[in-house]
A and B are shown apart, each in its own frame.
Chain A
Amino acid sequence: MITDKSLLLASVATLALASAALADGAQMQSAGALAFDNGNVLFVGDAKEGVVHAFDFGESGFDDQAEYQLGRAQTFEGRTIFNGLDQEIAALLGVAAEDIGINDMVVHKPSKQIILSVHRGLGPDAEPVLIKINNGAVELVDLDTAAHTSIGVGPVPTEATLEFGQPLNSLAITDIDYYNGEIFVAGISNEEFSSKLRRMAYPFDDTVSTSSIEIWHAVHAQYETRAPIISQTITELNGEPTLVAVYACTPIVRIPLADLQDGAEVRGTMIGEMGFGNTPIDIVPYVNGWDQTSNFIVTNTNRSAVTLPVDAVATAEPMPHGDGVQPFFAVGGVTQYTMPLSGTLHLDTIDETWAVVVRRSPEDPRNIQLHTLPMPFFFDRADHVVEMNWEDGPDPFGYKAAPPVSYN
């Protein structure tokens, strides 16, 4: 039998727990695509609530990672920060590794701190959390320390739709990019096949410009189709701020930002084709520290990653289209170089020398690793069967003379 006293105690305890939970990160219903502004503001795509959150952590919000050794670039040796990254995060959250989802990764460049968006659970009640890597340890990001704002981008339930339960349509936010005081949000609707790009100023003023982008698909000799953007980045090409986008199947497209006005029907210029049977994951800009050229790296689901020189993207001629053009099935258009990355789930750059990936281990795809890769080749010698790695093999660059890397 429950006495009044115990009932009261139980209620009080529940209330305390509920308020504790509310105080901590309750702003988010889900946590997907991540992006930073150029400072300490972290944008988080929340498809479930149909918003983008902005968390301003301020100057002291991140822990400096300068002392954490990322590998030894001179000898092409990256560092495995974690084997079983999913298991480490799951332990922190008190669930089994198969019950979490690692949705995106971004690096806070000033501190070199790696941030991951994670779901605790796989159901609709999954708890969204942000995880940081702090000198080799996984920790929860304390969202209470950040000033929070948000802006709606997805379908918003109206009173009329709520009457019949939650609306079924939603926008999976696939990418967020910050450029010069604005964010650009790409997504895939579960009920609509289209490419709508949402553009909004930060700090948010509740104004969202939506442009529909149509592209010419060079692989269609005769037809063109609207399609959703998977990933995008923004850069200046020939002095003009330009969105460079990769699509589901798999054109590379150039769109001047100036064209992206509210309600506009924009025709993007297709400048390359990445080959079919593949979906791109991320497009990330980086500078080649060896020759100071600017490039993009594109990671893919079913192909190796490729890099595209920014100059080539800027000067590429539109791919031919219209009457008389033959179907085009292969990789083509703008110059692309294959990079030795596969099994990549998420990628970002840390600094001018290092990139970091969440990936399936080349040796055991069940092992989800957090691993660094030296740029500009995104090449880790240990991942590959290289003669130089053999004990009695040649050593033309003196890699073996270098003592084994010992980490702090």
Chain B
Amino acid sequence: MWGFKTSVRQAMLAALLFAAHSGAADPHVEFNSVSGEIYLTKMSDALALSVLSDPDTVQLRLLDSASARSMVLTVHESADGLKILPRFPLREGEIYVLLVQTDSGVQIEHTITIAAEEAPIPRLVSFSPGQRYIPANALRFYVTFSEPMAKGQMQRHIRLELSDGSQVVSPFLNLQTELWDRDQRRLTLLLDPGRIKQGVGPNVAGGAPLQEGRDYRLVVDADMQSAQGTPLGASMSASFSVSAPERRPIDPQKWTIVSPPAGSLEPFFVSFDRIMDEGAVRRLLSISAPSGEVIQGTIETDGAMWAITPERSWQRGAHTLVVQHDLEDVSGNTVRAPFDANAGTIGATDTAPLEITAVIQ
């Protein structure tokens, strides 16, 4: 461990110094884990004054810090000594060194160990699309973990393999930023659009990352860590097979709608003709009552179907299924255009939501 020798040397030096100051008591250091404050007591008035007049005499850093720089802190007078207030909370599982060093040498050196609560081991809890077969031009995967995860690990710890264990090279778009949800449980993996778009260099040279008729698995390796620094411990994977690419725009006329009976609390059910983007469909599909009021309820979807169980029983009459034009399937096709559109056709369509009437009787 860093600085062991240095620490011993400095401790001895400190002991000598204190011995030279006859009558000086050993300063006492106490960390209050609730307030995050550090109290220095039983120190000589001279030392306390010296520290107060020059707070740079106080250094607080990680035991194994590569830098000699102290973390940001302020020093305050307290009832029986000094109070040190770190600008940021000390982190669990770390060992800090508090050093008070005046012109005459090291006056205090004290380690503060911050206990870590045992953090749960993260697990991969879902992979979307969750279907057995995924179209060869799929654009987006979602992986969801049981715990909030640490950013910055995607390139190192997530890979796509063929069922024989050979790795698919660079399947994902190399972005500087990772696309997590706010809780950092769900990560969006964008397959490199350059390899999916037909006729593009990467597509022609490297082929699409997913080949029709083959079996794949997405692997999250054992070292992928939660936000609390706990690794998965064992690699986890999700397997799927690849079917023909889906290159048609979304056409809601091809959906199958099962309307519930009026007066019931049964779900209103839509079965798609393809796999929709699960995130987008949850957000961009809704149903309105004959009054125009949006139906509130619990939505269930696996991308292949969408169902809403209402909070209040269904009214009789013409309801409207509202499809926002940004709705995408897993291959990035929208209501307005396929992912690969013929030149000059994108942007021609109206951007108003599509409305489909469903009569509830």
Contact = CB atoms under 8 A, between A and B. Distances in A.
Given A166-B181, A193-B140, A222-B199, A94 B326 contact: no
Interface centre among B86, B277, B340 (most CB of A within 10 A): B340
Contacts of B345: 224
B359 to A, nearest CB: 25
A193 B62 contact: no
B86 A226 contact: no
A170 B182 contact: yes
Contacts of A92: 69-72
A125 B88 CA distance: 13
B87 interface: yes
Contacts of A193: 139-140, 190, 193, 328, 332, 339
Interface string A92-105: 11111101010000
A329 B204 contact: yes
A222 B201 contact: no
A234 B283 CA distance: 33
Nearest to A47: B177
Given A84-B67, A174-B177, A223-B340, A190 B188 contact: yes
Contact of A14 (B34, B227, B341, B347): B34
Given A94-B61, A94-B88, A263-B351, A219 B179 contact: no
B175 interface: yes
Contact of B72 (A122, A140, A224, A230): A140
B177 A172 contact: yes
Interface residues of B, number: 82
Contacts of A101: 151-152
Contacts of B183: 124, 166
B343 A168 contact: no
Given A123-B227, A140-B72, A190-B188, A220 B277 contact: no
A257 to B, nearest CB: 18
B176 interface: yes
A254 to B, nearest CB: 17
A119 B152 CA distance: 12
Task: Provide the main secondary structure of the chain B interface.
Answer: loop
A220 B340 CA distance: 9
Given A84-B67, A220-B198, A277-B202, A169 B177 contact: no
A267 B227 contact: no
B291 interface: no
Interface in A333-349: 345
B202 to A, nearest CB: 5
A219 B199 contact: yes
Contacts of A212: 347, 351
A124 B279 contact: no
Contacts of A329: 200-201, 204-205
Task: Provide the main secondary structure of the chain A interface.
Answer: loop
Interface centre among B61, B62, B176, B343 (most CB of A within 10 A): B176
B280 interface: yes
Contacts of B161: none
Interface centre among A170, A221, A223 (most CB of B within 10 A): A223
Interface centre among A190, A221, A278, A327 (most CB of B within 10 A): A190
A235 interface: no
Interface centre among B71, B149, B182, B279 (most CB of A within 10 A): B182
A216 B343 CA distance: 7
A93 B200 contact: no
Given A223-B340, A223-B343, A276-B202, A168 B87 contact: no
B114 to A, nearest CB: 10
B204 A327 contact: yes
A382 interface: no
Nearest to A216: B343
Contacts of B202: 249, 276-277
Given A17-B36, A170-B181, A267 B87 contact: no
Contacts of A248: 173, 175, 193-194
B183 to A, nearest CB: 5
A17 B202 CA distance: 53
A221 B340 CA distance: 11
B150 interface: yes
A248 B202 CA distance: 13
Interface string B275-310: 001011011000000000010101000000000000
Nearest to B176: A281
B228 A123 contact: yes
Contacts of B109: none
Interface in B199-216: 199-202, 204-205
B201 A190 contact: no
How big is chain A's contact interface, by range? 35 or more
Given A169-B279, A193-B328, A327-B201, A94 B91 contact: yes
A279 B151 CA distance: 19
A209 interface: no
A214 B343 CA distance: 11
A222 B279 contact: no
Contacts of A323: 343
A17 B37 contact: yes
A363 interface: no
A322 B341 CA distance: 11
Contacts of B351: 212, 263, 265
Contacts of B123: none
B177 A188 contact: yes
Contact of B179 (A10, A160, A188, A345): A188
Contacts of B177: 32, 47, 172, 174, 188
Contact of A327 (B91, B199, B346): B199
Nearest to B173: A248
B139 A95 contact: no
Nearest to A33: B177
B200 A127 contact: no
Interface string A211-233: 01010110111111111001000
Contact of B62 (A91, A322, A327): A91
A58 interface: no
B340 A123 contact: no
B60 interface: yes
Interface string A64-106: 0000000000000000000010011011111111010100000
What 4 pairs across the A-B complex have the smallest Cβ distances? Answer: A123-B227, A13-B35, A94-B71, A329-B201
11 contacts: A91-B68, A122-B151, A123-B226, A138-B69, A140-B72, A170-B179, A191-B283, A192-B328, A214-B346, A279-B174, A329-B205
Given A94-B90, A167-B181, A191-B140, 5 more contacts: A91-B69, A101-B152, A122-B152, A124-B180, A220-B199
